[in-house]
Amino acid sequence: MPEYNVIGTRLKKVDGLERVTGQARYGADIHLPGMLIAKVLRGPHPHARIIRIDTSAAEQLPGVRAVVTARDFPPLGELEPANLGEMTIDMGAMAKLIMAHDKALFQGHAIAAVAAVDPFVADDALSLIQVEYDVLAPVEHVLDAMQPDAPLLHEDLRTRLPDGKLSERASNVAAHFVLGYGDVERGFAEAEAIAESSYTTRMVHQGYIEPQSCTAHFDANGRLTVWTTTQGSFTVKGQLASLLRLPHSRVRVVPMEIGGGFGGKIYILTEGIAALLAKKSGQPVKLTLTREEVLKATGPGAPCAIWVKAGARKDGTLTAIQARMSYDAGCFPGSPVGNAGLTAVAPYKQPHLRIDGFDVVTNKPRVQAYRAPGATQAAFAVETVMDMLAEKLGMDPLSFRIQNTPQEGDPMANGRPFNRIGLQAVYDRVKHHPAWTTPLSGKNRGRGIATGYWRGGTFTSSCHVAVNADGTLEAVVGSVDLTGTRTSLTQVVAEEFGLAPEDVQVTVGDTDSVGYTDVTGGSRITYTMSAALHHACQDALHQLKQRAAEHLEANIDDIEYAQQRFFVRGSPDKSASLQQLAKASVMGSGPILGKGTATRMGLAHEFAVHIADVEIDPDTGKVKILRYTTFQDVGCAVNPTQVEGQMQGGTVQGIGWALTEEYAYENGLLRNPTLLDYRMPTALDLPMIATEIIEVPAPDGPYGIRGVGEVPIVPPPAAIANSIYRAIGIRMRELPMSPERVRLAIEQHGNSDAR
């Protein structure tokens, strides 16, 4: 790696003080004159046709200023699509998701909403709304929904088949696609060992601490402004413009600080309702969800059912992999099954591959992204089967993975070749590390390994950099800061200009103050925005060089910049300082403003390997993690402290997915809509998580940066499942691997005296 002055240092979070002192302003902190409070009436049934809604009594209640139902939405027709990142949804479906039109499709589906002078009046108004339902049979499990005789959520939904055609009959299967190459039947015929199994996972929540909150206001000119907790201000703008049929110039979105998102704060589930109420009432309207609403009615991570089969020769060389992946999208199409297909087998080189993916609707909330959406579930299945196959061959599971490591130029699942990847370097670190080489002893103890992959997001990022009169810099970026990116981007700008970080201010702009930028997600922000800032800084420096050339009476091609001075090549005594030129820029020579955009960058592939040591209590089934180590290729660690935090944070979420977290549905009704009953891991459940940073520069971008935040969540369930097997000899095939399920598995295997 090149030597840098600021990049690679452990700069403290630039926004840390305002967060810990309570000065940071989140969505619920907005208070406007005349602001109304919104509340939402939510359906009690997982599947019901709406026969009648009577809002007259609520509308007449003193203090109520507006009541809206689906009747208040503009005609749906052909709505303009909006770019939503990894998890797209048709905007007509989005309107029906925001508020039920003809059917309530999950428990908690919004039926009506009110805006009143205070929350107490709003609650009273909800109780006065009368709704008549025709209750229908719900479809809860993804495999049940795929059956030909399953109740239909949408009578007009037909399966998009691999050839692009639509099925003749309506179905809950929205799409069936095929990825791969070669001939898997031939590959399995050549195999001398084959492993296969089936796996299921449950719906899980992203676990962000801050509930969604937004405020909407139409000014006297009919222009909409929305203050909201979102992962993408331009994403919200596009959705609102489409939904309300407004020109984009009539919508302004101001992103507030965000108390976590992890993919779950992209859709306009609250913003759409608040905007409708604001338009109807003529006053600002704030809508803040309760925790129960967050769990019942936002967008959790997708459950799925996966079957995997893999074959290899005696020497350990893979000959074929085949998988069938059925992902639950919730009530409207658009599950992350496509991501699952692309990521599932990426850590392996194989000549024959076939993946059948199915996007399926059920009577649950429409899923949203959750940190590497689709990849964690797929890795749980594939990495467990790979462990089984290595055991059949009598091979060490790490050696088996190393033997089948893909290299640059090898095909991904979609047939496109990998560019530069660092998985081999990660394995080189793992095989010599004490986490792998130190023996693990003790009864009911086991060590497991798993590999994870995420392709990394790209899309568009925009920014500008202004030079102040004293030579300090102000950068405005269009990307919402979820994970401390203002700190890493501050380091990038400081590096470009040779300044100290305290001389740089990075601000997240609203949609009026910066160029179009896609959603914050997919591990793309530091990767793409650093490239955009590089362009902006180079633009500003070029303008400054032009000023320096005029001042020094030299050719611009002879002007160089170093240590905050512009000088003539070969004549270092002829120079002008950055501060001199900056002061002149506001004294008549004109301001310096550099603009930068990054788009269509190449993929910066992310690979991680995790090792987990566990101990099982055979009497209770409790899994205790003794030691956990993560290894990850990050390309270039702009801020190692923040990189380690992302590696640890994603791992913790993956551990929760592995051991405790699930939506407990019964006949379509959610039984655990609180954080007391939805069991996320706490500090008491976790070991210290050791991190090992590997830096193999990505081939695109100015610094070789790769995304960091997505891939750490991918390996934990598989790593823990493999460690459970080595502890007690039982393969777990369902998430979460809770004490109840582990204990039941021990009983079913007659293995109460676990080894």
* Spatial CA neighbour of 13 closest among 708, 639, 690: 639
How would you list the strands of the sheet with 103-104, edge to edge?
103-104, 48-54, 130-135
**How far is it, in rounded angstroms, from Cα 697 to Cα 638?**
12
**How far is it, in rounded angstroms, from Cα 661 to Cα 204?**
6
Tokens coding 455: 């392709």
Question: For 337-366, what is each residue's pLDDT tens digit?
Answer: 999 999 999 999 999 999 999 999 999 999
Residues with Cβ within 8 Å of residue 413, at least 6 apart in sequence: 179, 180, 341, 342, 344, 345, 346, 353, 355
Asked if residue 52 lies in contact with residue 112, where contact means CB atoms within 8 angstroms, the answer is no
pLDDT at 203: 98
Residues with Cβ within 8 Å of residue 583, at least 6 apart in sequence: 469, 470, 471
pLDDT at 755: 36
Dmax (CA) for the chain in angstroms is 88
Question: For 425-454, what is each residue's pLDDT tens digit?
Answer: 999 999 999 999 999 999 999 999 999 999
The CATH-assigned architecture of domain 31-136+209-260+265-297 is: Alpha-Beta Complex (3.90)
512 pLDDT more than 70: yes
With bands split at pLDDT 50, 70 and 90, how would you rate the model's confidence at 572?
confident
Which residue reads 């929305």 in tokens? 226
Give the mean model confidence (pLDDT) for residues 735-751. 93
What residue ranges do the domains of the chain occupy? Answer: 16-22+458-598, 31-136+209-260+265-297, 304-456+603-748
pLDDT at 1: 66
Give the mean model confidence (pLDDT) for residues 557-568. 97
pLDDT at 78: 82
274 pLDDT more than 90: yes
Give the mean model confidence (pLDDT) for residues 587-613. 97
Give the mean model confidence (pLDDT) for residues 525-539. 98
**How far is it, in rounded angstroms, from Cα 49 to Cα 94?**
18
Asked whether this chain's domains 31-136+209-260+265-297 and 304-456+603-748 adopt the same fold, the reply is no
Report the percentage of the chain scoring pLDDT > 90.
96
81 pLDDT more than 90: no
- Per the model's pLDDT, the better-predicted residue between 81 and 663 turns out to be 663
pLDDT at 82: 87
CATH number of the domain located at residue range(s) 16-22+458-598 in this protein: 3.30.365.10
pLDDT at 754: 41
* Spatial CA neighbour of 361 closest among 396, 333, 403: 333
Report the percentage of the chain scoring pLDDT > 70.
99
577 pLDDT more than 90: yes
Asked if residue 709 lies in contact with residue 646, where contact means CB atoms within 8 angstroms, the answer is yes
Fold held by 304-456+603-748: Aldehyde Oxidoreductase; domain 4 (3.30.365)
Work out the mean pLDDT of the chain and round it to a whole number. Answer: 97
Phi then psi for 4, rounded to 5 degrees?
Answer: -120, 160
